[in-house]
Amino acid sequence: MAPPMSLSEARAQVLAPSPARLPVEHVPLAVAHGRYLAAPIHADGPWPATDRAAMDGFAVRAGAGGLPAGAVLPVVGESRAGQPARQLGPGEAIAIMTGAVVPDGADAVVPVEATTGFGGSAVTLHGGARRGQNVRPRGSEVVPGQLLLPPGRRLFAAEIGALAVLGRTAVPVCRRPRVAIVATGDEIVPVEREPAPHQVRESGSWALAAQVHEVGGEAERLGIAPDEPDALRAMLQRGLGAADVLLTIGGVSKGSHDFVHAALRGLGVREVFHGIDLKPGKPTFFGVRAHADGDRFVFGLPGNPASSFTVFDLLVRPLLLRLLGADPGQLVASAPPGGAPWSPTGRLQALPARLGAGPGGALVAELARPAPSGDPFGLCGGNVYALVPAHAVPGSLSTVAIAGSSRGVELP
């Protein structure tokens, strides 16, 4: 095995191929939540489409000189949201509600609390009025043709609302990346079985499938491949044929029963790197298999739960975002470390952490309790990773690099 590659170099190698974006699908707005836009969305007209009232009150014609305090105007009508109002003449007022169309002839809205006479036939303006006050002019927020949502943007509640305003009943999105997951090893059994003392329940594929879903992909768990070359090869071949990305769990270290590398080579997978300078995750493998309709990407992930989970967030997730046309973002930001201490090691450590407010409201990365890579429970409290340099001891770092995860924290 070659010397381990740094995490930053491994990430660069994973993203280097610049894969073609996935095919475009048009889906109904009702099911577009969580998908990634495949085309830009531009404004088809100005917004607001007409002058609108910014407050409840009275629409008046202030003119260049404004209206004086104490002016008394007859109330000649009402403008409510969803109903047109008559044209306003000089020296008149029309009652108006927030969001309603400002009547033709009006150029200001006087808030109701600055008047008396609401509900009567005349209104008194206590503070006068000036042209443009409390009016949202036509096109003041969005101009025709303005880019509203770029390609690669993930559609959440605010974006769905914006698309509805534009009347987009069908939305162009990227097809979800298909990820096949193969767990390996004679020591693992399905979750519904009671493991013998020398066995453990297979949890890695369940966690990885959930991570794929959180990113916006489709995961297929192909099952558990035994430590037997022919059965392993058949399952890997199935995954390579059906998916954009293949993830294997276990079987990537130097053990005598680790058959994954040979099987992948025999199936035409070209090794890009094998081994990264990271704890947990050192034995990680990454390779590419050429295919007529686009490359297939293969990650051989370590068998320990924390290792496979962490490597997914730091390396697999950025690739899936790239396939979706989204920006993978930067690997790190920084924050002062807090919480539990860590044990120094000769490799970069990715430790589960949670971003929170420290003294004075400053952002702090609260590290989870120390846990071995075989502990599946130590991940539950974190939403980012603290990247602790090799040989660093607790108390020696004023800030620590942090990396985002599939659990809701995105770093710019």
Judge whether 155 and 33 are in contact, CB under 8 Å.
yes
273 and 166 assigned to the same domain? no
220 and 343 assigned to the same domain? no
Q: What is the pLDDT of residue 400?
A: 87
C-alpha to C-alpha distance for 98 and 361, rounded to whole angstroms? 36
95 and 168 assigned to the same domain? no
42 and 180 assigned to the same domain? no
Q: What is the pLDDT of residue 363?
A: 81
Among 109, 136, 163, where does a domain finish?
Answer: 136
Judge whether 252 and 212 are in contact, CB under 8 Å.
no
Strand partners, 142: 47
Residue 368 falls inside a structural domain = yes
Q: What is the pLDDT of residue 253?
A: 66
| Alpha carbon 98 to its chain's center | 34
Residue 260 falls inside a structural domain = yes
CATH of the domain at 104: 2.170.190.11
- Mean pLDDT value across residues 176-195: 91
Q: Work out the mean pLDDT of the chain and round it to a whole number.
A: 90
Judge whether 96 and 58 are in contact, CB under 8 Å.
yes
Q: What is the pLDDT of residue 216?
A: 95
C-alpha to C-alpha distance for 332 and 314, rounded to whole angstroms? 10
**Range in 8-12, 131-135, 337-341 with the lowest mean pLDDT:** 337-341
Residue 1 falls inside a structural domain = no
Indicate the number of domains in the chain.
Answer: 4
Q: What is the pLDDT of residue 83?
A: 79
317 and 195 assigned to the same domain? yes
163 and 180 assigned to the same domain? no
pLDDT digits (tens, 9 = 90+) for 85-142: 789 999 999 999 999 999 999 999 999 999 998 888 999 999 999 999 999 999 999 9
pLDDT for 222 beyond 50? yes
**Radius of gyration, CA atoms only, the chain:** 30
pLDDT digits (tens, 9 = 90+) for 388-406: 999 999 989 988 888 877 6
Residue 143: pLDDT band (50, 70, 90) is very high
pLDDT for 258 beyond 70? no
Q: What is the pLDDT of residue 255?
A: 57
pLDDT digits (tens, 9 = 90+) for 53-96: 999 999 999 999 999 999 999 999 999 877 777 899 999 999 99
pLDDT for 42 beyond 60? yes
Question: Sign of dihedral through CA atoms 20, 26, 27, 28?
Answer: positive
pLDDT for 374 beyond 90? no
Residue 343 falls inside a structural domain = yes
151 and 180 assigned to the same domain? no
- 18 torsion bin: left (phi>0), alpha (psi -120 to 50), beta (else): left
Which range in 112-116, 326-330, 370-374 is most confidently predicted, on average pLDDT? 112-116
164 and 280 assigned to the same domain? no
Angle value at C-alpha 282, between 315 and 401, nearest 5 degrees: 55
Which ranges in 258-380 belong to alpha helices (H)?
A: 260-266, 305-311, 317-323
Q: What is the pLDDT of residue 82?
A: 77
Domain range for 67:
52-136
170 and 180 assigned to the same domain? no
pLDDT for 237 beyond 50? yes
Residue 300 falls inside a structural domain = yes
Distances in Å between the Cα of 146 and the Cα atoms of 143, 150, 171, 201 are: 6, 11, 18, 53
165 and 184 assigned to the same domain? no
pLDDT digits (tens, 9 = 90+) for 17-35: 766 679 999 999 999 999 9
pLDDT digits (tens, 9 = 90+) for 285-323: 999 999 878 889 999 999 998 999 999 999 999 999 999
Residue 340 falls inside a structural domain = yes
CATH of the domain at 241: 3.40.980.10
Instruction: Give me the amino acid identity at 164.
Output: A
- Residues in contact with 92: Cβ distance below 8 Å, sequence separation at least 6, in sequence order: 60, 61, 73, 74, 75, 76
CATH of the domain at 162: 3.90.105.10
Among 299, 323, 347, where does a domain finish?
Answer: 323
289 and 310 assigned to the same domain? yes
CATH of the domain at 351: 2.40.340
Give percent of the chain with pLDDT exceeding 70: 95
Among 268, 298, 323, where does a domain finish?
Answer: 323
195 and 228 assigned to the same domain? yes
Residue 408 falls inside a structural domain = no
Residue 411: pLDDT band (50, 70, 90) is low
Question: Tokens 């420290």 label which residue?
Answer: 358
Strand partners, 364: 356
Q: What is the pLDDT of residue 254?
A: 58
Residue 409 falls inside a structural domain = no
